[in-house]
Amino acid sequence: MNMVKYLFSIFFILNFFCLHAQKFEELAQTPPMGWNSWNKFKCDVSETLIRETADAMVASGMRDAGYQYIVIDDCWQIDRDKNGKIVPDPERFPSGIKALADYIHSKGLKFGIYSCAGTLTCEKRPGSHGKELMDAKTYADWGVDYLKYDWCFTDGLKAQEAYTTMSKAIKKAGRPMVFSICEWGLSEPWTWAKNVGHLWRTTYDIRDWYDGEIDGNFLGWSKILDKQVGLEKYSGPGHWNDPDMLEVGNGRQTNTEYIAHFSFWALLNAPLMAGNDLRSMDRETIKILTNKEVIAVNQDKLGKQGYKIHDDGDKELWLKELDNGDYSIILFNRSSENQHISAHWEMINPQFTSSTFMVRDLWEHEDLGEFKFGFTALVPSHGVKMIRITPKDKNKLVVD
């Protein structure tokens, strides 16, 4: 064997062991970031779309900003063969799923797939009920790194049991996979799923709206936001509340609303799963999805979810504590007029009343200076001001 071949073999062997050395329990130490086909494409998925999306994730700078997982949602599967093994749609995925996973890995990205705890998926494709171990092994063989697991056609099943069955199957299959629980919050998975999966949906499906709700089944992001209040204590490294995937760039909201949506998902430690067409993004959409200062709030290693600290109807303040002692604050204007909103430092902690913080604007990427007592900004209708604040003098934070 010549030297180059020898070095390549060593590289691949090390790579293999590094990948497999990471245990289920060690995954998703920060909220997963990636893309999922559902919000934009529904059942119109194919290997061409997925490959082009991986290419676009790299070319747009999203991979460099931290996005990793490319997840095909429902409708990739069509049948089971005579041995019960799941069969991908041969017209839409003629090269097979393994080849697609290899392609995505070759781009330095990770690959995810979708199934359902019921007999059928929500789009009536074969579900995994009774075939959990066989499916988990198939996914492991294909090189799957992430499984989103839905909750349709589950009559008579108990969520905790059904998700535990698949969680054990994944562990047995031996390939580390992020396990995304999608049962819409019905059984309050935040109370039981910490050691079963890495994230759990907290509500029914998001729609590309600022506001609005249809029958409680489809919700605009600000409606979903309201349902996150009180869930913050259940989230942390390796186990995240999932308020559903992003709608940024899907066209039915203003950029102001998309900036607010992305800011809140970052502050809530939500998985940042883009749900738009990455192949045809305008510059503003790329700017929103790749804002590194906002992403840093989401990926902060303390893993403490943000929460609401003030609400007077139209004006809200939300706070997230960060690992280095900084805070991130969102000033949110729900009204239809632009409004001034104030954050008083005593709202963070009564002892901070007359403290001084340095304020940085995370969307303008600008240091705004030192502020004693608090900070006020003009916030656009349906928009936010998102800041990061650093105590001027940590030793003098409490009294002045």
Site for ligand GAL in 72-91 (CB under 6 A): 73-74
Confirm or reject binding of residue 123 to ligand GAL (CB under 6 A): yes
CA distances from 48 to 55, 96, 116 (A): 11, 12, 24
Candidates 26-34, 121-129, 324-332, 355-363: pick the segment binding ligand GAL (CB under 6 A): 121-129
Cβ contacts of 210 within 8 Å, gap of 6 or more:
220, 221, 222, 253, 257, 260, 261, 382
Q: Quickly list DSSP for 85-141.
A: -EEE-TTT-TT-HHHHHHHHHHTT-EEEEEEESSSB-TTSSB--TT-HHHHHHHHHH
Q: How far is the CB of 151 from ligand GAL (least distance, A)?
A: 7
* Active site residues per annotation: 150, 205
Least distance between ligand GAL and beta carbon 42 (Å): 8
Told to check if 183 binds ligand GAL by CB under 6 A, we report no
Q: Say which residues have a Cβ less than 8 Å from residue 77's Cβ, sequence separation at least 6.
A: 86, 87, 88, 89, 115, 121, 125, 126
CB of 244 to ligand GAL, least distance (A): 7
Of 145 and 150, CB closest to ligand GAL: 150
Exactly one of 132, 135, 150, 257 binds ligand GAL (CB under 6 A); that residue is: 150
By CB under 6 A, residue 213 contacts ligand GAL:
no
- Residue 203 Cβ vs ligand GAL, minimum distance, rounded to whole Å: 9
Which region among 26-34, 117-125, 138-146, 277-285 touches ligand GAL (by CB under 6 A)?
Answer: 117-125
Q: Whose Cβ is closer to ligand GAL: residue 47's or residue 242's?
A: 242
According to DSSP, the β-strands at 77-80 and 366-372 are unpaired
Polymer length of the chain: 400
Residues making contact with ligand GAL (CB under 6 A): 38, 73-74, 121-123, 150, 152, 182, 205
